[in-house]
Structure 1
Amino acid sequence: MTAKKLTDSVYFLPGATNIGIISCFSSTKKTNEVYLVDTGMSASDAKVILEELKSLFPKEKGGYSIKAIISTHSHADHCGGNKYIIEKTKCDLLATKKESGSIQNPFLQAAVIWGGNPIPEITGPYYEAEPTMPTKIIDAAVKITLDNSSEISFFPLPGHYFEMTGVLYENSKKEKVLFAGDAVFGREHILKYWIPFLYDVKEFKQTLDALLTVEADWFVPSHGNAITRIDETVEMNKIAILSTEFCILHILRNQDLPFEEIVKQVADLNNITLKTAQFALISSTLRSYLTYLAKDNKISYYIKDNRLYWHRKERS
């Protein structure tokens, strides 16, 4: 991985999870102070990040000092490198209040997906990062002013997970970069993973609308390419969400069904061959869709013969 420059002081390191690098040369400390946005999945990712920082900020140009890691949210592929970097650099760790709990207690991610004590297939490094302790809680009211008068602020982006945050950088030239976490998925990613993991469908849709109000020169999703326009990518994400909504309503058009039959038919209609871990992820997401559709008064549910059935209220 090689970092790509977006502005004079901002880079992103492309990978399975894109990493944000925000820098500012400190005239008092004579070094480049760095804020990282996420750290990838593992210590291996963390090592790549540190090597890239050495390349970007060689000793003859002041080197670098990591001020803080900003975790957009607590999924393992975003905070899996936290522990290694914190142990090596003693930097701060910034996260929102609700995401902080899962960063400290990574087993919660698999527990949320499974709805109980999880099976082994969803308890590996992809689902459970090494635990770390955030040193500062951030929200939309927090601003960080850098020595060069640039500013880092935080933009609430809930839906994909509990309290995900976007990281918005603005320099003195009014150039802006938004690191959007998993609030929107790049085109190639959403086409490959048409049913991405979602915790709250309604909030995810509201977040997509909120992204359209953000003025920035660059938008960096955690999965996908950095882009200068976000409207087309947002539209593609909206189509994917509506597609799954319509898929569920279509399945329930003539008959009431229990949950696992809905999972099977959604997978079949989308040509997905489910393995164990993917079954758990898509099942968790489809439960979120069913909750959303029930709250939107489009479907209901009832118990019959000790099974929970889902019913479409208006049938074609």
Structure 2
Amino acid sequence: MAIDKSTYERISAHAGMFHNSTNIGVIEGSDALYVIDTACSDDDGKCIVESLEDIFPHKKIKAVINTHSHADHCGGNAYIVKTQNAQIWAPHDESKIMEFPRSLGVMYWGGIPFSDINNPVFVVPEALEVTKTFSDTSVDVGTATISFVPLPGHFFDQSGIFVYDKEDGLTTAYLGDGFFGMSLLKKFWIPFMYEPEKFRSSVLKIESSGADYFVPGHGELYTKDNITAAAEMNTMVTLETEFLILRLLEEKPMTQEELLKAVTDYAGITMRPVQFVLIGTTLRSYLSSLLNRGKVSFEMCENRMLWRTVR
């Protein structure tokens, strides 16, 4: 989907979004614009700048606000910073990765990443200084109040950006990957996850937030009238993954890689190298979570780490 005037939707008097594979939020402040996440690349950044010049011809972008540090959410930052002299605002822990993006590939792979992982789709090629870090604070931009709400789980301190529009009293919550659209979950039912329990807590926080509109990082726009069904699905996919892991490990002990094959075979997923790495990383997060809650254990057997369900 193109990032242009045709894909822009005004949600409240001073808040809107570009519908895209990675949704992009826009806040019209009294004297400047604020962009929430920038999709994947310099080309996306260029499209954002040109489209906003068309929609808001008398205002420039003051800041990019990133929900988290993954490349599909901050890949357009560099172009916007260079052409608009814009600032970058991000959660504290996420900012460290954005300023040292090579670390992300190492986290995914556990060593020096090979070329399939170390590419701009997954690792932002250029380090940029983060101007402002935030955690559970608010900023007044004249027309609206921007509140930064921690929504951890998907990644370290991934955050939501809640925008209260002073003109019409509506609140729009830009959620990054603290919440997934149902269309994405139906297509990819094992989304990348760092801490599943915290993700479920974040989903509950979102559902009970009282916002009027909800913009996930990927998927469709939700309102307070239909957010509950989407929240239930977000919770359900993480619980289903846990139940599947427990059932498979109850049948027989497995190594992490054997479990990865069993889970993806069950789901009918044919993995390419990138899926092998990302789903594998996600399953290790689930194993750690289940281990910490006493639901699984492991033992070293003939130089293999074997995981099993605790009966």
Moved more, 207-216 or 297-306: 207-216
Alignment-derived partner of residue 12 in structure 1: 17
Deviations 1:73-102 (CA, angstroms, capped at 9, x unpaired): 000000111111000011111011100011
Aligned to 1:137: 133
Shift of residue 25, structure 1, vs aligned partner: 3.2
Pairing partner for 1:184 from 179, 185, 205: 179
Deviations 1:197-230 (A, max 9, x none): 0111121111111112211111000100111032
Q: Which residue of 2 aligns with 1:158?
A: 152
Measured in 1, the distance between the counterparts of 2:138 and 2:256 equals 44
Residue 222 of structure 1 corresponds to 217
Task: Calculate the aligned-residue CA RMSD, in Å.
Answer: 1.0
Q: Do the aligned partners of 2:190 and 2:237 also contact (CA within 8 Å) in 1?
A: yes
User: What corresponds to 2:8 in structure 1?
Assistant: 3
Aligned to 2:262: 265
Aligned to 2:120, what secondary structure does the other structure show? coil
Partner of residue 167, structure 1: 161
Q: Could you tell me how far 1:68 is from its partner in structure 2?
A: 0.7
Instruction: Say if 2:15 and 2:165, in contact at 8 Å, map to a contact too.
Output: no
SS at match of 1:232: helix
Query: Which stretch shifts more, 48-57 or 283-292?
Result: 48-57
| Cα shift at 1:24 | 2.2
Residue 12 of structure 2 aligns to a residue in which SS? coil
Amino acid at match of 1:14: H
Letter in 1 for 2:271: L
User: How far is 1:174 from its partner?
Assistant: 2.3
Are the aligned partners of 2:40 and 2:75 in contact in 1 as well (CA < 8 Å)? yes
**Alpha-carbon distance in 2 for matches of 1:199, 1:120:** 23
Match of 2:198 in 1: 203
For these two proteins, the number of residue pairs brought into alignment is 302
Residues of 1 paired with 2:61 and 2:221: CA distance?
23
Please give the alpha-carbon distance, in whole angstroms, between the structure 1 residues aligned to 2:232 and 2:18: 25
**Distance apart, 1:10 and its partner CA:** 0.8
CA displacement at 1:260 relative to structure 2: 0.9
Contact persistence 2:13–2:165 (CA under 8 A) = no
Shift of 1:250: 1.0
- Asked if the contact 2:53–2:60 (Cα under 8 Å) also holds between the matched residues in 1, the reply is no
Deviations 1:227-246 (A, max 9, x none): 10321111111111111111
**Equivalent position of 1:29 in the other structure:** none
Match of 2:207 among 191, 212, 223: 212
SS of residue in 1 equivalent to 2:250: coil
Deviation by residue 1:229-277 (Cα, 9 ceiling, x = unmatched):
3211111111111111111111111321111110000001000111111
Equivalent in the alignment of 2:141:
146
- For 2:165 and 2:9, how far apart are their aligned partners in 1? 18
Post-superposition offset of 1:51: 1.4
Q: Which residue in the other structure is 1:96 paired with?
A: 91
Structure 2 gaps, min length 5: none
Q: Which moved more, 1:107-116 or 1:93-102?
A: 107-116
User: 1:289 maps to what in 2?
Assistant: 286
Counterpart of 2:229 (choices 219, 229, 232) is 232
The offset of 1:306, in angstroms, is 0.6
1:80-119 alignment, distance < 5 Å: 80-119=75-114
Unaligned runs of 5+ in 1: 27-32
Once the two structures are superposed, residues 116-137 of structure 1 have per-residue CA deviations (whole angstroms, 9 ceiling, x without a partner) of 2112111101111121110111
How far residue 147 of structure 1 moved from its aligned partner, in angstroms, is: 2.1
TM-score by length of 2: 0.95
1:39 aligns with 2:52: no
- Conserved 8 A contact 2:148-2:159: yes
